[in-house]
Amino acid sequence: MDTKIFKTSEQEIGEAGKIIRKGGLAAFPTETVYGLGASAFSSDAAKKIYEAKGRPSDNPLIVHVCDKNQICDIAEEIPDGARAVIDKFMPGPITIILKKKQIIPDTVTGGLETVAIRFPKNETAVRLIKAAGVPIAAPSANLSGKPSPTKAKHVIKDMMGRIDAIIDGGNCEVGVESTIVDFSGEKPVILRPGGVTYNDLKEHGIDVEIDKNILQSVSANEAPKCPGMKYKHYAPEAEVTVVEGEESAVREKIKELLDGVHGKTAGVLTMCSADYDNAVILSAGSTNKEYAKNLFSALREFDELGVEIVFAEFCEKDGYALAVKNRLYKAAAQRVIHV
């Protein structure tokens, strides 16, 4: 398949919108990560997404809207807490799970009776949804299992030849995927931490619990609330180990670990720009917010540089800590050393 690369002119966004309206696939930027979009009203188009990504078809897609009224078209009922999220945090990096209306096909929701809904803030994303004239079902635009794309070049690497078009709208600002809050049960629960933090929600009087599977792997006999939790995620070619704790202790431990690496190329993802010997060093930034923005891109870069073993420093700094740890632990397949 010939994949068209678009920029963000009126004409190009219009063309990408038309591709989606007609049942094709177009990748687009959002403020979190790039999405791989198809019409949320088309079962066939949703099937193409699962195929292009190599994604298991029981892992549902997020439906993206471009105004708040569209939410009522696709969700059955909107509880008070969800209403508060819509009022305070949309558009923005947050997704809510509500009971779905019939108009959303089962293929989009992986057979679930609920639908995940997000109103992104990114201007290109909003213009595309308007141009398409339909809500857009979109997972992150990476091959299943790979780190989510935060730059157009990541999407090109994973999706070239597999989809109809890619809109290059620059780098994603947040860098990790949206916070997911499930409002379909008795109590609202954060299923995935992201750009809107637990404290942000709390400060606006939105009372939520945090799902226990956010920082641990799902056991084999368990059906997680968020189907995505049970699949392999963010796995670079390199073997990642997280070293977590107070800065100087983290540094000492990584020096010791590097001394034990023989015959392999090692890398360090650093928060404190420590100079390590015999390692490829990439900066994650000094705050957890910067870490979120840089993490996926750095994981891909280590692979490009041929790094085989990565030690990732992690020190808790701000409200983004949970979102970063959730992705790091998955990238590291739970290899975490606390010092």
CA proximity to 23, closest of 51, 45, 8: 45
Contact 71, 119 (CB under 8 A): yes
Q: How many CA atoms lie within 13 A of 228 on its CB side?
A: 19
Contact between 61 and ligand TXA per CB under 6 A: yes
- Straight-line distance from the first to the last Cα atom of the chain, in angstroms, rounded to the nearest whole number: 50
Counting residues that bind Mg ion (by CB under 5 A) gives 1
Phi, psi of 264 (to 5 degrees): -130, 155
**What is the rounded CA–CA span in Å between residue 273 and residue 291?**
13
Residue 115 interacting partner from ligand TXA, Mg ion, none (CB closer than 5 to 8 Å by kind): ligand TXA
Binders of ligand TXA in range 74-133 (CB under 6 A): 95, 97, 109, 112, 114-116, 118
* Among residues 164, 168, 177, 313, the one that binds ligand TXA under rule CB under 6 A: 177
Q: 3-class secondary structure for 140-170?
A: ECCCCCCCCCCCHHHHHHHHCCCCCEEECCC
We find the least distance from the C-beta atom of residue 22 to Mg ion, in angstroms, to be: 25
Q: Which of residues 144-173 bind ligand TXA (CB under 6 A)?
A: none
Of the candidate spans 40-48, 133-141, 149-157, 305-313, the one that interacts with Mg ion by CB under 5 A turns out to be 133-141
Give the integer Cα–Cα distance in Å for 92 and 42. 25
* HSE of 27, CA atoms in CB hemisphere, 13 A: 35
Considering beta carbons, is residue 93 or 267 the nearer one to Mg ion?
Answer: 93
Question: Which of residues 109, 114, 140, 178 is near Mg ion by CB under 5 A?
Answer: 140
CB nearer ligand TXA, residue 183 or residue 311: 183
Please report how close the Cβ of residue 320 comes to ligand TXA at its closest, in angstroms.
14
Q: Residue 255 and residue 245: Cα distance in Å, rounded?
A: 15
Choose the binding region for ligand TXA from 16-24, 25-33, 269-277, 280-288 (rule: CB under 6 A).
25-33
Draw the binding track, 206-235, toward ligand TXA (x: CB under 6 A; -: no contact). Answer: -------------------xxxx-------
Give the count of residues interacting with ligand TXA (CB under 6 A): 27
Min dist CB 166 to Mg ion, Å, is 16
- Burial (CB count within 10 angstroms: exposed 0-12, middle 13-18, buried 19+), residue 274: middle
Exposed, middle or buried: residue 19 (CB in 10 Å: 0-12, 13-18, 19+)? buried
Judged by beta carbon, residue 140 or residue 326, the one nearer Mg ion is: 140
Where does this chain bind ligand TXA (CB under 6 A)? 30, 32-33, 35, 59-62, 95, 97, 109, 112, 114-116, 118, 138-140, 177-178, 180, 191, 225-228
Where does this chain bind Mg ion (CB under 5 A)? 140
